[in-house]
Amino acid sequence: MANYKVGMFFTRKFKITEPEPPQDVKEAFGRFTDGTAATAMSPDQLLRFLIDFQRDSDAKIADAERIVNHIMQKRHQIAKFTRHSLSLDDFHHFLFSEDLNAPVGSKVCQDMAAPLSHYFIYTGHNSYLTGNQLSSDCSDVPIRKALERGVRVIELDIWPNSNKDDVDVLHGRTLTTPVPLIQCLRSIKEYAFSASPYPVIVTLEDHLTPDLQEKVAEMVTQTFGDMLFYPEEDCLEEFPSPESLKHRIILSTKPPKEYLEGKNVRGKQKEQAEEDKWGKDILDPEDELEPDDKNDSDDSEHNPDDQDEDDSDSRARHLVAPEYKRLIGIHAKKHKGDLTESLKVDTNRVGRLSLSEPTLKKAAISNGIDLVRFTQRNLLRIYPKGTRFNSSNYNPLIGWSHGAQMVAFNMQGYGRYLWVMHGMFRANGGCGYVKKPDLLMKANSDNEVFDPEANLPVKKTLKVTVYMGDGWRSDFSPTHFDNYSPPDFYARVGIAGVPADVVMKKTRAIEDNWIPVWNEAFVFPLTVPELALLRIEVHEYDMSEKDDFGGQTCLPVWEIRPGIRAVPLFDRNGDKFKSVKLLMRFEFV
């Protein structure tokens, strides 16, 4: 390569060359044609490839013809009128097309007629915050963005405004600026079903007087109208299904207690330790998934859902607002004292229990079986510990592996745990509801339920081949990764899941190439593939500084489509790059 001196630095001139299709692609092309690279692949031959190699058992000749026509239209302006078959390069281009050859499906594929408790639900925490938990603005914009991403549970903290005559949404006892409740409700109505037709649950952390509760009831009924679901009976014996609740909005909070007028109660509301306790135990956004958080604070905090009936004179002024109480579709259950008692299953009614992140960790050790049994009928919501004032998140697998449906996340946060959350809800067409595996819903012949800590045998093995990547030249500036040479990309591939399955591996770094070709395979034995997510990251190796980020994605293993697939990558915030993608192969062996 030629060197050119510029000032005190040397720059190298690099020629960008397009790599050949990987050997596996060449062999697949030859296998389904007559074996020569000069041969073209007809729609009939492509259909055989789709069924036999890609395991697309539902593929039809119309699908193969549509692919061929699409490639001809996109790549050949003249031949599209005369040729109706794929060359090797055309075939490679098809395999590298995420629109035609995605790694997971884009349609709802699970039974949606089971009770809500049978599903993991895409859940937000403090959904109105634009940034950190202490001083960021409150706005309806994060709510809209969450709904557009497919989030199905929106959390609102509702407080009296400064004049005590209206209702604001804000993170109480912090410097966050309020936003009117009515503004949030209107955005929920407008965007609730922009990404999914399945129900939106609005969880309310209620700090209101009865007269303002009545005002909330009026706002809610006028805003949502017939969209609002509430049960005819005071309590549900079993949750309805997502299918039966399509295009419905459900309120969930702790029903206010009925007080006798003139009842003596304590003066000021107790401090809410979970909201006010700002310690130093913060998860670094670049921490790996494998280690547990260190030095978790003792769970002395509690959730506003769990307020003692004597904790608020504002609630106890007169009789409860009857209309407000009637509109609560999912009743929140109080956790107080013995967790075993809180996790007892009532066969006559269902509800929602909220636990903090540290309480869940303790419960997973001491009451793991109780958690799984409770979540077979009831909803369990997990919320981040109060020390996460920078809106970081926690390992969601602890909650999911114990059946928790509502693992609440700061969607405006960042980091690998949020990427895993995004990955979970790419399943089932991205509709925001993912059916829990049978192992979490059924007991065995000895009436034993799933134990995520148990030593289990390998059930399935996933083999992943990382062939190559492309698109960085289009989505990044020429000097983004290195001022004087092309990037040195490497890929990281691993599993997020139950503890026994968690692992991370990486390829070698390919020096000075915008189109890295790795051709490396990795094998992942899985004891619980039903809860495993495949983590994929690309970084650029930097000898003197921290490696640069080049993209990421996370895929639900149980929905990965076998075969050679195009895998689009996403930025740190979870937004898809326009061009960056990998060519990979997935095999279950």
| Of 118, 171, 207, 335, catalytic | 171
3-state SS string for 426-491: CCHHHCCEEECCHHHHCCCCCCCCCCCCCCCCCCEEEEEEEEEEECHHHHCCCCCCCCCCCCCEEE
Whole-angstrom Cα distance, residue 159 to residue 170?
A: 7
Other CB atoms within 10 Å distance of the CB of residue 112? 20
Number of H helices and E strands in the chain, helices first, is: 16, 22
- Provide the residue type at 506 as one letter: K
Whole-angstrom Cα distance, residue 225 to residue 300?
A: 40
Other CB atoms within 10 Å distance of the CB of residue 518? 22
Cα-to-chain-centroid distance, residue 242? 18
DSSP state of 531: G
Our answer to whether residue 171 is catalytic in this structure is: yes
- Written as six digits, the tokens of 169 are 């949404």
| Of 125, 302, 402, 422, catalytic | 125
Whole-angstrom Cα distance, residue 170 to residue 127?
A: 10
Residue 149's closest CA among 535, 453, 424? Answer: 424
**Cβ-contact 230, 329 below 8 angstroms:** yes
DSSP string over 69-106: HHHHHHH-TTGGGT--SB-HHHHHHHHT-TTTS-SS-S
Other CB atoms within 10 Å distance of the CB of residue 397? 24
- Written as six digits, the tokens of 403 are 């059946």
Our answer to whether residue 331 is catalytic in this structure is: no
Residue numbers annotated as active site: 125, 171
